[in-house]
Chain A
Amino acid sequence: MKSRTIETRKGIRCQVREAGKGAPLVYLHGAGGPMPEEPVLERLAERFHVFAPVWPGFGEEEGEELLEDMLDFTLHGWDVIETLGLERPHLVGHSMGGMIAAEMACVNDRGLGKLALIAPAGLWIDEHPLPDMFAVTPFELPALLFADPAAGQKVLTAGLDFTDDEALTNFMIGNARRLGTAGKILFPIPNRRLSKRLYRMTRETLLVWGRQDQLIFPLYAKRWQELVPQAELHEVDGAAHMVPYEQPTEVADALLRFLG
């Protein structure tokens, strides 16, 4: 994927990865950030013009301090779409990106094509509290996020050696920026009252969920379907929260089938 840097009207510089031709599709990554390999996006780019903005705090550009609360995040998503000059793009979001996508739909449903949310954050069920992703050490993340923790470890660390002090410090800095930013909408409970706005989300919607998701349990999909009655659910075997990286073929197939 090629990459360029745009600047929104708010003044936030933002890297956007881009590939393919066709109708516009915007992909919002999760709190773990963009990955070096994005197999699902590569497949989507065979049929769509894919734009994958790197969220402030997750890339080389600074400016995350300008985003403080849910409304700031939501409007930044729209600022990016406007800066790119996109008309009614499809919107796909994973985890935190799914939460932001849903909020964007709630404020401007008519500005979007279809909506696909992959294990989105944003809801909370008291009877089924989710694990605290801010209270896990980096060493515990693979088991929490992947159905196959050993494979997940490789995706997350990309060969980093945590026993090396400098590598650890660099990882800690990146992690502090990424999850520090994510914490503004996810800490201490990933609920910014999206549920009371979801009645505004009326676009065709697909939910994709890994059946082994230990971070946002699959039963949360049912809650999404109660609040967004038109949402279809596609569940994926052999995958946990990082479902787009664990079962990319199946996830891409489901998205392509849904988007048409």
Chain B
Amino acid sequence: MKFTWFNLMPWPHLPDDFRQSHRSVWVDIPSDLYDPEEGNRVYHEYMDQLEYADSLGFDGIGVNEHHQNGYGLMPSPNIIAAGLARRTSRAAICVIGNSIALYNPPIRVAEEFAMLDVISGGRLVAGFPVGTPMDTNFCYGQIPALTRDKYYEAHDLIMKAWAESEPFAFDGKYNQLRYVNCWPKPIQKPHPPIYIPGGGSIETWDWCAEHDYNYSYLSFGGYIAGQAMLAGYWERIAKLGKDESPNRASFAQIICVAESDEQAEELFAEHMLYFFNRCLHVYPGFSDPPGYRTLKTIKAGKLNQLRSEAQKVFSNLTWGDLVDNGFVIAGSPETVRERCEHMIKTLRVGHVFGLFHMGNMPDWKTRLSTKLFAEKVMPALRDVWPDWKDDDRWWIKPYEGRVRVEETYPGAERDARADRRPPEGSL
């Protein structure tokens, strides 16, 4: 089992009446809610947390791309990843990922991912999302009905740019380039592991199977709601005659660990409610522009997770609902271990993206939960899939002779990794 510590990088200061006074956390959120000077502190805190997770033995540290989004402050995840590549030497750097249909030309992604793979010494996991409608269509203006076609073309261009050793001409529908010549090239051959984050499009399942890419189901619905989706995925994998390695699939799950179940509620409830009540307040008109989802997906009844009915559910959730319905796995190390094992087995996944920092959670609570998971939960979950423990098809192959930060700049990472004490009287 692999565990990646993931941070969405939310803005932690959305006002209490955000839901009442604004129509959407995404696309048209007023930018005066953001304070760049406080942003300076927030970015460093979040990047420190990712480095802290590396030091505790998480297999990967993860970032992703969102635009004009109050819960995702990484329009360019590659900038964060570059910082992490310099301050860590061990964990995979999972960029999940770059919305490749948005880069013009997408050769830019081939170049930046190659740079990240080289700087990190072969530790990049390369994610290629189609992109959410909010990011792709409404923020970046791509035509919904053509987004997927453009995405496929961008993928073909990037993969060919990494594979070819000679310059070549590319005559695409969306990109015409006379001299494609990716310089530098990634360390990992033939290419870094490819992860395809998805939200349940049937075409994406088949496409992942066809290319043997990892399918990463990213939702905030949690592991109970995720079962139906992953069951559909595994059914397609079996039908297409692929092996059933759990490492073909990843799942994102919100996880909160405390000393006891009661303490978990006391420490984390308010921050989870901040996330579900404020951060997921997306105007339904932005969540499903006609043409974005294929007819096949609509027919299969995969209604969008942010449509208005779901929104109503999010806004009325209590801590008990969040835990009982699996949105959040929370509790003592033993409770969390038991639920995580259940999640891993029922979803059949070999890789979990753990969302440990959510909403407006303060640094010390994030670190407490992260450390308890690393020390008391993760070790007990390593061998859930003994039959597939040598299957490394979807994992990084770092370069042995890479530059290591701990040797080059001893102590450079010390601050980020020091444990934080909770404020007096808070535990």
Contacts and interface: CB of A to CB of B under 8 A. Distances in A.
Q: Do A and B bind each other?
A: yes
Interface in B38-59: none
A175 B137 contact: no
A175 B290 CA distance: 6
A176 B291 contact: yes
Contact of B137 (A169, A181, A188): A188
Chain A at the B interface: mostly helix, strand, loop or mixed?
Answer: helix
Contacts of B173: 68
Contacts of A189: 141
A11 B316 CA distance: 52
B295 interface: yes
B198 to A, nearest CB: 18
Interface stretch (B6-14, B180-188, B245-253, B278-286): B278-286
Given A184-B143, A187-B143, A188-B141, A134 B298 contact: no
Contact of A134 (B144, B295, B303, B308): B144
Interface stretch (A19-27, A113-121, A135-143, A239-247): A135-143
B144 A187 contact: yes
Contact of A169 (B138, B283, B299): B299
A39 interface: no
B28 to A, nearest CB: 9
Nearest to B286: A135
A180 interface: yes
B293 interface: yes
Interface of A: 68, 132, 134-137, 140, 169, 172-173, 175-184, 187-189
Interface of B: 137-138, 141, 143-146, 173, 283-286, 289-293, 295, 298-299, 301, 303, 308
Given A134-B144, A179-B291, A182-B290, 10 more contacts: A132-B138, A134-B290, A135-B289, A140-B285, A169-B299, A173-B299, A176-B291, A176-B293, A180-B292, A188-B137
25 contacts: A68-B146, A68-B173, A134-B137, A134-B290, A135-B138, A135-B289, A169-B298, A173-B298, A176-B291, A176-B298, A177-B295, A179-B291, A180-B144, A180-B292, A181-B145, A181-B291, A183-B143, A183-B144, A183-B145, A184-B145, A184-B146, A187-B137, A187-B141, A188-B137, A188-B141
